Structure 1
Amino acid sequence: MAVAYPQTDNSSSTTQIPLIYEDQGDEAHLSKSLNHLGTFLRVFGFCQYSFLSLILSWLSFLLLGIALPAVMIEYLSHCTHCKKYQISSFEIQVLVFQSLAATISLACISHNLRKYGIRKFLFVDRFHGHMAQYRDEYVKKINGFFRLLAVWLLPFLVLKTIREAVRVIYAPHHSWGQSVGILIALVVSWTYTITIYLSGCALFNLVCNFQVIHFENYGKLLERDLDVTQYIEEHIRLTHYLSKISHRFRIFIVLELLVVTASQVVALFQTTWHSEIINLVNGGDFVISSIVELVGLIISLQAAAKITHRAQGTGSVAAKWHSLVTCASDDTAANPSNLLHINYSESDLEAVDYVPVPTTTQLASYMSSYHKRQAFVMYLQANPGGFTVFGWRVDRTLINTIFFLEISLVLFVLGKTVTLYHS
């Protein structure tokens, strides 16, 4: 007796298997990008997961970022014919503030990575990380992290190399080999320090961009027919993540702002009080370091303002959604006018128009849905969210305020120093 096996649909099986492989491939792609990011952070000493890695990280920073350039500056200060092209006080000031900025970046980022790990640090949790559309966006943002570093670091590296090469040409040492060795040592040390500083700022930018993805897709969530409580729960979770980000990075933002401001003020004092001629050879480090520090600060503040802007925009998106649902003419559950359907009779027996009264259940259902949406919109408007620093919300208004305060401070100090110098 022949056994009849159930026939299988080959077409359906062939369509299901690629979906599984595609999902696994997307997850593998995200894991690969995170591994590349982790390798980069490990090379520059951010991943201090053990006591040995912590010691090696800070020892490398002390040797390459502080000791090596300090020795080179001290060696160059004894050159008798180099004083015209080498001002030791300028070089020391640049080294001190660059080291402070890099130290803050290394300490804050390594502390968070050691405490949470790279996935929790970036908030690539299982709820969002296992959704295909978010995984693709995560990979793009991680690639954008490396592009951001390359776009800003490479031009500064070229400027630094040109500046050091010009100084070697105008003030050569006993041998060209010695001059080239000093040039390479200074450029390598500077690149290492600046990479650590900009990496910390770019990582904060990456964390904020991940949350921007969620807020931009929050409007798409409203297009789905879900209960209002689910929308509120999703928004509560997003604002909770913003609160965590604010708590983890508020010290980083404040300290970087103070260091950059102090660096500009000290540079202003030294350049205005210096009695000799300042040119791009002996004062070029001031220009390069000032631009680098300001770029890092702008990257951080721009990311904080962007995520605040997206978070505050959810209120307007929800209000628009509430208005469209309420005014939808083809939805009887959303428009009470459709419930009041008027029938005009031409019969002589009916002297008045018949208006069927909507049932209590229909009115109660509509009013309940309307009040839920209204409460949801009021909740979003009362809780705009955003990145905060000790209660101060970092938005575009605050950034403009900081900018004008910085300009006012620089102009005030400049006026005082010019007056004191001429007097």
Structure 2
Amino acid sequence: MDAERVSLVRKDFCRSKSSVHDELHSFRSWLRWMCVDQSTWPTFCLSWLVFIIFTFLIPGLSHFFLACSNCDNRHARPYDSHVQLSLSSIAALSFVCLSQFVRTYGLRRFLFFDKLCDESETVRRGYTQQFHSSLTILFIFVAPCFTAEAAYKIWWYTSGATAIPFLINAMVSDAVACTLELASWLYRTVVFFLVCILFHLICHLQILRLQDFAQVFHVDSDVESVLNEHLRIRRHLRIISHRYRIFILWALILITISQFTSLLDTTRPKADLSIFKTGEVALVSVSLLAGLMILLRSATRITHKAQGVTCLAAKWHVCATIESFDPPDAADTETPPAVGNQVFRPDASSSDNEAGSEDGLDSIKLIPAYAYSTLSFQKRQALVTYFENNPAGITVFGFMLDRSSVHTIVMIEMSLVLWLLGKTVGIS
């Protein structure tokens, strides 16, 4: 028995250990291509070198040496400092947090791939599919913004805004400078969205686990196993909250400061506003808001699903309690009350079909509890009381990111962005 137990432990350890030929191989290759892989000392030094060049050096040189003070009115860039500071600050936060995540926990442990061996086949398959589509989601968010930025930069250089003298040929100099600026913009944006997409991916795993956990109320389960599984989910949610709380808080602060400073600068009485001058400010604001919405929406979905467990447990308790009552004797009353099958009769009305598809946590149908009514009323009541007094979800330093708090944040950020778009590109 001891030898068999040691063999199982070694097998689990090998399943959790990182390998260049596992399911993360393509993702690691993409990280190396983006120069954010820090698995070895050479890649660690290269990663920080590329980060400093594309986050600080190129934006600084672009701002101070390509300010184009002698340009015409359309080619002037009076708001370039807002654009560079906003992107560089959020990219620096994202890169430092991503480096800390990978260096401290490792990629497999950070993405919870080492825990998939304990999950069901449905959870493993759903999480693997979401992982493979995560880079597609990243491309969907980054591609439109990069296309708009590339169009603006190409127009700015080709229309004769500047001629950089560091190369013999002016056209080659402009092409090199334009390419470096676009590479810097793409690098900073991708690093920010990468951290947001990874948070979305981890949250999707917990949602799959919560949906799988909802099935325990449809089978004959004891209170102890239900409680242990819920405690395991709460522990993972607490781990995610602890890892991402600094990034979420500082991202919210930096993005809000960026919106406020841009609004203060564009609402000055003597502010010179046109789409050629303020288009980049609007584009950066929309990009940062999109990343923030990914974070908040992912956190809110987890909190909503976790709170749905309490509703499901209460419904399960009610159905089991109703089922446990014996119907009164027919001789004692003229019309016996309709319990049993009448209570749990499925309703196939058209109004239910209009509600759309539902998972196990959001279903409004009653639960036929006859199969597991052997649990006592006290045990079921204790479990429901535990769910009510121990809400699970994503927290930031103790503050739960539920729908009410996120709606307030979204309303403030959207008001700032829409106001800024109205002042810059005429969208209100």
Shorter-chain TM range is: 0.7 to 0.9
Cα distance, 1:244 vs structure 2: 0.8
Letter in 2 for 1:85: H
Moved more, 34-43 or 231-240: 34-43
Q: What is the aligned-residue RMSD (CA, Å)?
A: 3.1
Distance 1:45 1:318, change over 3 A: farther
Name the counterpart of 2:100: 111
Moved more, 286-295 or 160-169: 160-169
Letter in 2 for 1:387: I
Q: Is the 8 A contact 2:59 2:181 kept in 1?
A: yes
Name the counterpart of 2:291: 296
Q: Is the 8 A contact 1:122 1:210 kept in 2?
A: no
Name the counterpart of 1:209: 204
Q: Is the 8 A contact 1:167 1:281 kept in 2?
A: no
Moved more, 72-81 or 181-190: 72-81
- Residue 398 (1) aligns with residue 398 (2): no
Cα distance, 1:307 vs structure 2: 0.5
1:3-402 correspondence to structure 2 within 5 Å: 32-78=22-68, 80-81=70-71, 84-87=74-77, 89-126=78-115, 128=117, 131-174=120-163, 175-273=170-268, 275=270, 277-328=272-323, 335-337=324-326, 369-402=376-409
Q: Secondary structure at the match of 2:382?
A: helix
Cα distance, 1:319 vs structure 2: 1.7
User: Within 2, Cα distance between the matches of 1:80 and 1:214?
Assistant: 60
Q: Secondary structure at the match of 2:152?
A: helix
Letter in 2 for 1:153: V
Cα distance, 1:68 vs structure 2: 1.6
Distance 1:173 1:129, change over 3 A: farther
User: Within 1, Cα distance between the matches of 2:119 and 2:306?
Assistant: 23
Letter in 2 for 1:299: I
Cα distance, 1:82 vs structure 2: 5.1
- Deviation digits for residues 42-81 of structure 1, max 9, x if unmatched? 4334442344433321111111222123223333225623
Distance 1:274 1:167, change over 3 A: farther
| Uncovered stretches (5+) of structure 2, i.e. residues with no partner | 1-20, 164-169, 333-371, 424-428
Cα distance, 1:279 vs structure 2: 1.7
| Uncovered stretches (5+) of structure 1, i.e. residues with no partner | 1-30, 329-334, 345-364, 418-423
Q: Percent identity?
A: 29
- Deviation digits for residues 60-108 of structure 1, max 9, x if unmatched? 1111222123223333225623564132x52122111211101111111
Name the counterpart of 2:18: none
User: Within 2, Cα distance between the matches of 1:235 and 1:323?
Assistant: 20
Moved more, 48-57 or 391-400: 48-57
Cα distance, 1:368 vs structure 2: 5.7
Moved more, 305-314 or 39-48: 39-48
- Deviation digits for residues 156-186 of structure 1, max 9, x if unmatched? 1110011112222433444333322222121
Cα distance, 1:129 vs structure 2: 5.4
Q: Is the 8 A contact 1:101 1:256 kept in 2?
A: yes
- Deviation digits for residues 218-250 of structure 1, max 9, x if unmatched? 111222322110000000010011111111111
Name the counterpart of 1:360: none
Q: Is the 8 A contact 1:204 1:303 kept in 2?
A: yes
Q: Highest CA radius of gyration, 1 or 2?
A: 1
Select the structure that is richer in helix: 1
Q: Is the 8 A contact 1:242 1:387 kept in 2?
A: yes
Q: Secondary structure at the match of 2:221?
A: coil
Letter in 2 for 1:177: V
- Deviation digits for residues 117-143 of structure 1, max 9, x if unmatched? 122212233455563222211112113
Distance 1:310 1:159, change over 3 A: same
Q: Secondary structure at the match of 2:219?
A: coil
Distance 1:309 1:46, change over 3 A: farther
Distance 1:129 1:158, change over 3 A: farther
User: Within 2, Cα distance between the matches of 1:248 and 1:109?
Assistant: 10
Distance 1:412 1:98, change over 3 A: closer
Moved more, 42-51 or 263-272: 42-51
Q: Is the 8 A contact 1:76 1:86 kept in 2?
A: no
Distance 1:141 1:299, change over 3 A: same
Cα distance, 1:213 vs structure 2: 0.6
Letter in 2 for 1:280: I
Cα distance, 1:112 vs structure 2: 1.6
- Deviation digits for residues 309-334 of structure 1, max 9, x if unmatched? 01100011112222333334xxxxxx
Name the counterpart of 2:353: none
Moved more, 284-293 or 398-407: 398-407
Distance 1:149 1:323, change over 3 A: same
Cα distance, 1:154 vs structure 2: 0.6
